[in-house]
Amino acid sequence: KGFLASLPYQFTVMAHFNIIDRIYFAGERSHDRGDRKVSGPGAITMGLLFPLLIFLDKLNKLHLLPFGKQLSILYVCGSFLALFFGIWRYYVKTGRHERVMNYYRGKPTDTSTYNYAYIIGWMIACLVVTLLIHQCDISLPPRQVL
């Protein structure tokens, strides 16, 4: 009876974390330990940059981006910054930053080796997905449909 009575309480109190939260923690923890090149939103965004570039390239090939190749660097930089600050705002404004940092801090996997393994693994996984999208020639619908 004790376990069943506490079951709803456990589900409401226990926070649900995912692999993106772990990557965020790895980036923030690396940043806290002196590596100024990596932050939580930066770690997530670095991996998502590869699929974002393929997506923008496909939009450019369909001529759905105004001004074509002339301002393509602005599209990439603007998308990257919007993604970075969107992730940062989500974690800071919702309080998820504190919950993630408190949950993972002090665990046996809270070492620089594990943190870099998560960040590099995330980047490799995103790169593999990007290569699959590019090799399988997954495309967007024709312009008439969009």
The DSSP symbol for 71 reads G
Q: What is the mean pLDDT of residues 105-118?
A: 90
Cα separation, 113 vs 117, whole angstroms: 6
Look at residue 131 and tell me whether its pLDDT is greater than 70. Answer: yes
Confidence (pLDDT) at 101: 92
Mean pLDDT of 89-108: 91
Quote the crossing angle between the two packed helices 112-135 and 19-32, to the nearest 10°: 130
- Can you tell me which residue has the tokens 């593999």? 128
Write the DSSP symbol of residue 15: P
Task: Please state the pTM of the whole predicted model.
Answer: 0.76
Mean pLDDT of the chain: 81
Q: How far apart are the first and last CA of the chain?
A: 56
For residue 71, what pLDDT is reported? 73
Residue with tokens 């939260």: 21
Q: Using CA atoms, how far apart are residues 2 and 115, in angstroms rounded to an integer? A: 38
74 burial (CB, 10 Å; 0-12 / 13-18 / 19+) is exposed
Per-residue pLDDT band at 9 (split at 50, 70, 90): very low
Q: Residues near 145 by Cβ (< 8 Å), separated by ≥ 6? A: none
Q: Tell me the C-alpha distance between 42 and 146, whole Å.
A: 31
Give mean pLDDT, residues 58-80.
76
